[in-house]
Amino acid sequence: MLAYHDHELWVEGQPLRALAAGMPTPFYLYSLPALDQRAQRLRAAFPDAWVAFAYKANRHPVLLRRLAEHGFGADVVSLGELHAARAAGVPPEKIILNGNAKTRDELRAAIRMQVGLIQLDAREEVPRVAQVASEEERSVAVGLRINPGLDVDTHPHLQVGAAGSHFGIPPDQVLEAARAVADAAFLELRGLHLHVGSQLTDEAAFEVLAREAATWYRRLRAAGHAIEVVNVGGGWGIDYAGEGREIAPEALARIFARAFAGESVRLALEPGRWLVGPIGVLVVRVVQVKRAWGRVFVAVDGGMNALLRPALYAARHRILPARLGEPVTRVDVVGPNCESADVLARDVPLPPVAEGDLLVVLDAGAYGQTMANTYNARPLPPALVVG
């Protein structure tokens, strides 16, 4: 996707400076060829799985349409994402509605649309979904999102399957929730769902997830529930640090195949970050270079308003210059907003830069544009798709 030619950064065979000439900074830049490569690799590893792309990661319509062309479904959590999936050409039966606070309007829309699966996040949600289904007089396939109470190695804000999390049904309530679904006139229990965290780069976490999912599948089947789909979520980590630590879908396919050996079950996956994170960058422009307190601060025109992850999660993104040079020094790249947390990255190795120069924030294709905001009354960043 990115390469230097004669010291200039190129993107998919085009000079970055030429691409940026017609765009206001900051802006997102996405590569369709890079997306195709990752989508094809994932599908090769999981040829029979229900792959539902997590729309929370990126909602750019061009990318969504391309993923739909690859046969991927949609993991959605709101009415807006539901409509985005249909606009992208995703068939209703490939859509999974998730979320811990689904409104009646969202439920009604999903039921009328006849989405493939509605995941129940709490036992208390069963009667509400059942009531809407009854009002619509339509049978609804549902799954139970189980919170197994597992701690995994990731940022605390991303530990969505840990004890105490507000996501999912705790283990001691699962069978009760399953019975409630079985007793509801218009609900059919067809799936279960476990998602333990995001940005996981250790295969051991997925080994534990696979064992837990298989255990609950067999337990619910033994209790008489016709579980057909096991949704093992997403959480696949990418190589933000450039250290070669990225989850391989081929390894995950082997892990889940071992866990469900001999079982007639369909896997559902909800990848987001792994598919789109590496295919996008954030392009920012240097406003000024400040030397103070023995440090060098490179202030750019896009910070936590354009890319919230560093401020929210202390996430580290690598940053590249549009033009190579010497000498390379360590600098702090900071945003323009009135917050001390508005730091894109510290101790970044950069050549000398000046006002007007372009910098590129890597691996910004996931949870970048979707989490952008208008803090300090700054405009939302636009996006450009190449390839």
CB 93 within 8 A of CB 71: no
pTM tops 0.85, yes or no: yes
DSSP state letters, 280-291: EEEEEEEEEEEE
Can you say how many angstroms the Cα of residue 302 is from the centroid of all Cα atoms in its chain?
22
Rg value, the chain, Cα: 22
pLDDT of the residue at 150: 73
CATH number of the domain at 32-276, please?
A: 3.20.20.10
Indicate which residue of 261, 292, 338, 377 is catalytic.
338
Answer whether residue 46 shows pLDDT above 80.
Answer: yes
pLDDT of the residue at 163: 63
Q: What is the number of residues in the chain? A: 387
CATH 3.20.20.10 residue ranges in the chain? 32-276
Answer whether residue 188 shows pLDDT above 50.
Answer: yes
pLDDT of the residue at 307: 99
Query: How confident is the model over 321-357, as pLDDT tens digits?
Result: 999 999 999 999 999 999 999 999 999 999 999 999 9
Answer whether residue 54 shows pLDDT above 90.
Answer: yes
Burial of 376 by CB count in 10 Å (0-12 exposed, 13-18 middle, 19+ buried)?
middle
Q: What is the mean pLDDT of the chain?
A: 96
Answer whether residue 15 shows pLDDT above 50.
Answer: yes
CATH of 2-29+278-386, one of 3.40.30.10, 2.40.37.10, 3.40.50.1000, 3.30.428.10: 2.40.37.10
CB 144 within 8 A of CB 225: no
pLDDT of the residue at 158: 42
Answer whether residue 161 shows pLDDT above 80.
Answer: no
CB 220 within 8 A of CB 257: no
Query: How confident is the model over 94-128, as pLDDT tens digits?
Result: 999 999 999 999 999 999 999 999 999 999 999 99
Q: How many CB atoms lie within 10 A of CB 124?
A: 12
Mean pLDDT calculated for residue range 152-168: 60
Residue 139 is given by DSSP the state: -
Residue among 148, 86, 84, 138 at smallest CA distance from 107: 138
pLDDT of the residue at 197: 86
Amino acid 168 reads G
Alpha helices in 223-300, H assignment, sequence order: 249-259, 273-276
Element (H, E) at 356: none
Q: Does the active-site annotation cover 338?
A: yes
Answer whether residue 154 shows pLDDT above 60.
Answer: no
CATH 2.40.37.10 residue ranges in the chain? 2-29+278-386
Instruction: Give the range among 141-150, 177-186, 294-303 with minimum mean pLDDT.
Output: 141-150
pLDDT of the residue at 165: 82
CB 321 within 8 A of CB 361: no
CB 335 within 8 A of CB 344: yes
Mean pLDDT calculated for residue range 163-188: 94
pLDDT of the residue at 155: 43
Query: How confident is the model over 62-77, as pLDDT tens digits?
Result: 999 999 999 999 999 9
